[in-house]
């Protein structure tokens, strides 16, 4: 019985963290409890959620991507320039980025290279390409992209609906399909997956390619919200994406991930930034405070895991 309660609490912890922050924000600023207020609070949640999902695909196969922030910035620069002025050229650049991610997955697997080192190197490549595309902040998002990201949806802001659809779609693909189980198995038990006749190389290529795809969507969502591009616009997304996956119940090894939890984790981090602004905390201390929130949640997870282990 105690084991079952602990398991349910561990699963619900990401949602509970988000709920606690929402209550705190609404208590401090009651006017935030409205359509406009939620839109302002969670305006940038969707690109962070997409970047978090991209990171989750890589973490699911026991790897880590330290280039996702730079890549999102590169996509934003392309979206604010080439995608508007030469759409086919812009789409080709995005396709090239996704293929580059797939090639990274193959390289990491075939050469048995540490993904941290490889992706750290790629972060400088993406940053350099972003600067070449857009040397100074500027450009302009395509009108259709801006219209999509500012869409007025019923009941709740577009960001919340889009994040919910994102979580449900990825959850179904990874957690409810046979091939999704194979992809997760690469991180959980690669030898069994290989003995069953599945290619570990192909699985890693697929997961890295999916990371590139969702990183591309994150960059497009970001430029649609900000209306312009900047090579440095998403550098912090690297750490935010990792924190979002872990905050949402994921782990660095064993293929243990939660798409729904990852999206909730990304929304929690976005909301935490707004909450800290309400506290009038100096911006230099806000990143540290976000880290403290993450540590508190992880400490609770450790306590729950130990309770669950003792009960078992």
What is the spatial distance between Cα 261 and Cα 60, in angstroms, rounded to a whole number? 14
Assess contact for 219 and 226: CB atoms under 8 A. no
3-state secondary structure of 229: strand
Q: What is the pLDDT of residues 195-219, one digit of tens each?
A: 999 999 999 999 999 999 999 999 9
Residue 65, pLDDT above cutoff 80: yes
DSSP 43: T
The whole-number pLDDT of residue 9 equals: 62
Q: Identify which of 10-19, 206-215, 229-238, 256-265 has the greatest average pLDDT.
A: 206-215
The two tokens of residue 98 are 């996704």
Closest CA to 135 of 90, 77, 89: 77
The whole-number pLDDT of residue 6 equals: 53
Residues 24-45: b if buried by 16+ CB within 10 A, e if exposed: ebbeeeeebeeeebbbebbbbb
The pair phi, psi for residue 124, each rounded to 5°, is -70, -35
Closest CA to 226 of 32, 70, 48, 56: 48
Q: How many domains does the chain have?
A: 1
The whole-number pLDDT of residue 279 equals: 67
Residue 120, pLDDT above cutoff 70: yes
The whole-number pLDDT of residue 41 equals: 85
Q: Mean pLDDT for the chain?
A: 88
Average pLDDT over residues 220-237: 94
Q: What is the pLDDT of residues 123-156, one digit of tens each?
A: 999 999 999 999 999 999 999 999 999 999 999 9
- Contacts of residue 71, defined as CB under 8 A and 6 or more positions apart, other chains included, come to 97, 101, 122, 123, 126, 212, 215, 219
Residue 296, pLDDT above cutoff 60: yes
**295-304: long-range contacts, CB 8 A cutoff, minimum separation 24:** 297/13, 297/14, 297/17, 297/247, 298/246, 298/247, 300/13, 301/10, 301/13, 301/249, 304/6, 304/9, 304/10, 304/13
- Give the other-Cβ count within 10 Å of 232's Cβ: 14
The two tokens of residue 238 are 């690297």
- Contacts of residue 155, defined as CB under 8 A and 6 or more positions apart, other chains included, come to none
Indicate which CATH number applies to the domain containing 110. Answer: 1.10.3470
Alpha helices in the chain (DSSP H): 2-28, 35-41, 45-59, 68-80, 82-85, 87-110, 115-133, 143-149, 158-175, 178-188, 190-195, 200-226, 237-247, 259-278, 283-311
Positive or negative torsion for Cα 170, 16, 37, 245 = negative
Confidence of residue 306 (pLDDT cuts 50, 70, 90): confident
What is the spatial distance between Cα 186 and Cα 56, in angstroms, rounded to a whole number? 13
The C-alpha angle with vertex 257 and arms to 121 and 310, in degrees rounded to 5, equals: 125
Residue 286, pLDDT above cutoff 70: no
> Which residue range is the domain that position 303 belongs to?
2-311
Residue 281, pLDDT above cutoff 70: no
- Give the other-Cβ count within 10 Å of 151's Cβ: 11
């Amino acid at each position: 019985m105690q084991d079952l309660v602990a398991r349910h609490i561990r699963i619900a912890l990401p949602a509970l963290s988000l709920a606690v922050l929402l209550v705190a924000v609404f208590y401090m600023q009651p006017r935030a409890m409205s359509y406009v207020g939620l839109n302002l609070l969670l305006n940038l949640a969707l690109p962070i959620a997409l970047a978090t999902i991209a990171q989750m695909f890589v973490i699911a196969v026991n790897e880590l991507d330290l280039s996702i922030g730079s890549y999102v910035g590169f996509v934003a620069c392309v979206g604010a320039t080439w995608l508007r002025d030469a759409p086919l050229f812009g789409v080709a650049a995005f396709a090239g980025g996704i293929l580059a991610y797939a090639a990274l997955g193959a390289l990491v697997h075939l050469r048995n290279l540490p993904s941290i080192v490889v992706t750290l190197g790629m972060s400088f490549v993406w940053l350099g390409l972003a600067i070449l595309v857009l040397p100074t902040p500027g450009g302009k998002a395509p009108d259709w992209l801006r219209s999509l990201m500012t869409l007025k949806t019923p009941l709740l802001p577009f960001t919340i609906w889009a994040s919910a659809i994102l979580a449900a779609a990825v959850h179904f693909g990874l957690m409810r399909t046979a091939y999704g189980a194979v992809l997760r198995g690469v991180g959980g038990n690669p030898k069994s997956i290989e003995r069953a006749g599945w290619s570990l190389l192909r699985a890693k290529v697929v997961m890295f390619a999916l990371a590139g795809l969702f990183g591309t969507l994150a960059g497009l969502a970001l430029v649609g919200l900000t209306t312009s591009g900047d090579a440095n616009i998403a550098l912090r997304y690297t750490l935010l994406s990792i924190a979002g996956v872990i905050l949402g119940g994921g782990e660095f090894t064993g293929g243990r991930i939660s798409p729904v939890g990852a999206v909730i984790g990304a929304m929690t981090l976005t909301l935490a930034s707004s909450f800290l602004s309400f506290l009038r905390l100096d911006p230099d201390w806000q990143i540290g405070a976000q880290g403290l929130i993450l540590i508190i949640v992880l400490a609770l997870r450790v306590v729950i895991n130990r309770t669950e282990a003792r009960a078992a």
